[in-house]
Structure 1
Amino acid sequence: MKLATAMAVSCVIGLAAMPVTANAYFGEPGTWASGWGQGTAEYMAVSSDGSAELYIACNDENPVSMTLTIDGIAYGNDRQGEFNLVLDGYEISIPHFTNSRAHAEGFLYAWERMRKATSIIAVTDDGKRVELPSRGSAAALPSVDSPAMGCKTQFYSF
């Protein structure tokens, strides 16, 4: 009994001493990344200081979901506020809306511009502005006409 208790305590201490790390390949500050999990393609850009992230999720079941999080406050699909993207000085309103043909085309346009942009700024409807990285966007985001493009809108699927 004493041996079992000592082993259990050792295991607990060993687990407590293990470092907790984030997924190193996804969501690094200052760059774009992509991943795949449970049938969903995921794309993320994290600001250089780590305070903001743009997250895009695509799967076969639902239209694309795009969320901007700044200091823990989420904007976008079904969140408390909206956001626009300013790509190389050109502002695209509510790029995550795909509920009309015009909005779906706006999303696709924003996607292609994000792949090539040298400047990406997100602006929330409550006045927050955050610079997101452009580094790695072309590698992380497949071209709209690529077979790897898995995002669908309410009007288009690839």
Structure 2
Amino acid sequence: MNRKMIHTVLLVCALMPAMAQAFGNHDTWTSGWGQGVSEFVIKGKGQSQLYLACDDAGSQPATLIFTDASGHQVSIDSGKRLQVRIDGGEPVDISDSDSRVGDDLITQAWNALRTGEQVLVTGDGLRPALFTLNGAGKVLPAFNTQGCISKFAL
């Protein structure tokens, strides 16, 4: 094999795991599972996506990561502001899940994701992104079930 061919094969092999882990689409919510973690995702314009995950054993708090169109991210419990606005309603601050109020707000927002039509997500230093909630009710479990819990609940 010539050197160019070897470099090409090595590059393809190196990229395969990254491509295999990428999932989700723009039209409907999708779910996946691996190593005791249930994952839920919807993609938006550019690199934007809304990613939620729950530790099936309930030993870790739920994860929610918002990525904007430029690829910048913010997540709950990171010390940065994160808000959702479902179906044009009032913004709900889901920045912190380590308090009773934070737990209540995340429960409210998470469960509204299951019944709404669209969500606008904003975060500190990120561009807002709009996502469909098509199929969310079929894949997202209710909050405080199936390992989807807040830091406060631990």
Q: Partners in 1 of 2:120 and 2:26 — Cα distance?
A: 15
Answer whether contact 1:92 1:110 (CA < 8 A) is retained: no
Query: Paired residue for 2:66?
Result: 68
TM-score (norm 2): 0.76
The Cα of 1:25 is off from its aligned counterpart by 8.3
Q: Using the alignment, how far apart are the partners of 1:74 and 1:109 within structure 2?
A: 22
Q: For residues 126 and 12 of structure 1, do their structure 2 counterparts lie closer, same or farther at Cα, with a shift above 3 Å needed?
A: closer
Counterpart contact for 2:97–2:151, Cα < 8 Å: yes
Q: Which runs of 4+ in 1 moved over 4 A?
A: 9-21
In the alignment, does 2:111 pair up with 1:153? no
- For 1:51 and 1:11, locate their aligned partners in 2 and report how far apart those are by CA, in whole Å: 31
Deviations 1:90-114 (A, max 9, x none): 2343325211111111111111100
User: In 2, are the aligned partners of 1:65 and 1:96 still within 8 Å (CA)?
Assistant: no
**CA-atom RMSD in angstroms:** 3.1
For structure 2, list consecutive stretches of 5 or more residues without a partner in the other structure.
none
Which deviates further from its counterpart, 12-21 or 37-46? 12-21
Q: Report the counterpart of residue 88 of structure 1 in structure 2.
A: 87
**How far off is 1:144 after superposition?**
3.7
Q: Secondary structure at the match of 2:53?
A: strand
Larger Rg: 1
Which residue is equivalent to 2:41? 44
1: CA distance, partners of 2:5 / 2:47: 37
